[in-house]
């Protein structure tokens, strides 16, 4: 079945739209949640936009590390914008309905950007590996052409597979409840609503998560094993402390993102708890993008210095 076929109803399916229950079980907190998520969205937009602007305007940050960081910040803005604006609309209007096509579109972009995040995190780990373990060869290895190729591969690498997975999920018959006990269209809660055999879909989810999450995660861990072993050989205690600080920050984000996503997608359908799924999803869809600017950049002295230079220019002008 093609994506176009999803727009037409077959004999087994009577559902034309879904209802995102979201946080409807907290009726007295709708206004508070709207305020909290609005602030989070603003923080994500401002924080990540600042990183993009600084890395584009400051010549001192024209390095592969900050090129990938700018890509990562652009990704985080897109990633959050797939889910958070819809959450805000649902909280504000209390109209939680979403069309079948709208749900499929949201899921497809969410999955594609999620795959991009996995790949970019792996690319950033590889960049640090080359910089720390092979510093003399770093300018030669991480040349401009390779950086562009790695970034482009991260952005487009997961598109065909995730489009196929979305079409596969929405080819299932939905003939029972149309209430999705989640705050966005995701695979686990949708599979729970399907009234047909979903074993093939669950197998495909496992295969995709291994390809797009487990393999990059193992590559990241392998890179950091090499990085940490190299850092331990540094003669300067200050140098070791600075390098460990950077590594620990990156690893915290990696574990937070990959850990919560893997638990959500790899656990069997029968063991899924709606409350647990929503809590874990908050980590890798909203919390991580909100803290990424602080973890990756605002603790970085080069970025802070670049931000000060930018502000001074604005004041002088």
pLDDT of residue 127: 92
pLDDT at 286: 87
- pLDDT confidence of residue 6: 45
Q: Flag the least confident range among 80-94, 104-118, 279-293.
A: 279-293
Backbone angles phi, psi at 58, to 5 degrees: -95, 120
Residue 1 has pLDDT above 50, yes or no: no
pLDDT for 14 equals 63
Q: What is the mean pLDDT of residues 265-280?
A: 66
Max mean pLDDT among 1-5, 128-132, 149-153, 205-209 falls in 149-153
Please give the residue that has the higher pLDDT: either 12 or 108.
108
Measured over the CA atoms of residue 166, residue 84, residue 153 and residue 127, the dihedral's sign is: negative
For residue 196, the 8-state DSSP code is S
Most confident by average pLDDT, 73-82, 222-231, 266-275 = 73-82
| Predicted TM-score (pTM) of this structure | 0.86
In whole angstroms, what is the distance from residue 292 CA to residue 48 CA? 8
- At 74 the pLDDT is 94
Of 124-128, 220-224, 268-272, minimum mean pLDDT range:
268-272
Q: Who wins on pLDDT, 284 or 120?
A: 120
Residues 6+ apart with CB under 8 A from 108: 162, 163, 166
* Sheet arrangement for strand 97-99: 97-99, 17-20, 179-180
pLDDT recorded at residue 143: 93
Average pLDDT over residues 6-12: 43
Tell me how far apart the terminal alpha carbons of the chain are, to the nearest angstrom. 58
Q: Which of 167, 179, 181, 174 is nearest to 196 (CA)?
A: 174
Average pLDDT over residues 304-311: 77
What is the per-residue pLDDT for 263? 74
20-26 LR contacts (CB < 8 Å, sep 24+): 20/86, 20/90, 20/96, 20/97, 20/98, 20/180, 20/182, 20/183, 20/184, 20/185, 21/96, 21/179, 21/180, 21/181, 21/182, 22/87, 22/90, 22/91, 22/96, 22/182, 22/183, 23/91, 23/183, 24/96
Nearest to 220 by CA among 269, 257, 176, 267: 257
Comparing 42-46, 64-68, 288-292, the range with the smallest average pLDDT is: 288-292
Rounded Cα gap, residues 307 and 104, in angstroms: 40
Set out the domains of the chain in order of their start, with CATH numbers: 5-316 (1.20.1070.10)
């Amino acid at each position: 079945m093609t994506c176009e076929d999803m727009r037409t109803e077959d004999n087994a399916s009577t559902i034309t739209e879904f209802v995102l229950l979201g946080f409807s079980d907290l009726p007295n907190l709708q206004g508070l949640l709207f305020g909290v998520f609005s602030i989070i969205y603003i923080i994500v937009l401002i924080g990540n936009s600042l990183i993009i602007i600084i890395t584009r305007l400051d010549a001192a940050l024209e390095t592969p590390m900050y090129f990938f960081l700018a890509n990562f910040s652009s990704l985080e803005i897109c990633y959050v914008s797939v889910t958070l604006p819809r959450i805000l609309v649902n909280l504000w209007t209390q109209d939680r309905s979403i069309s079948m096509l709208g749900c499929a579109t949201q899921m497809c972009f969410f999955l594609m950007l999620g795959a991009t995040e996995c790949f970019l995190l792996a690319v950033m780990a590889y960049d640090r590996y080359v910089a720390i373990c092979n510093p003399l060869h770093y300018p030669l290895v991480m040349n401009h052409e390779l950086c562009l190729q790695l970034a482009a591969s991260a952005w487009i690498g997961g598109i065909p597979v995730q489009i196929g997975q979305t079409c596969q999920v929405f080819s299932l018959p939905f003939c029972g409840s149309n209430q999705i006990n989640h705050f966005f269209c995701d695979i686990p809660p949708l599979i729970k609503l399907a009234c047909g055999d979903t074993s093939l879909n669950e197998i495909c989810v496992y295969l995709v998560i291994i390809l797009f999450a487990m393999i990059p995660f193992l590559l990241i861990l392998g890179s950091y094993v090499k990085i940490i072993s190299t850092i331990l050989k540094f003669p300067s205690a200050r140098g070791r402390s600075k390098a460990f600080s950077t590594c620990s920050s990156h690893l915290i984000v990696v574990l937070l993102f990959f850990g919560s996503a893997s638990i959500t997608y790899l656990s069997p359908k029968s063991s899924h708890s709606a409350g647990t799924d929503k809590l874990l999803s908050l980590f890798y869809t909203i919390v991580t993008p909100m803290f990424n600017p602080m973890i990756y950049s605002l603790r970085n002295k080069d970025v802070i210095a670049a931000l000060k230079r930018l502000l001074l220019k604005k004041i002088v002008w």
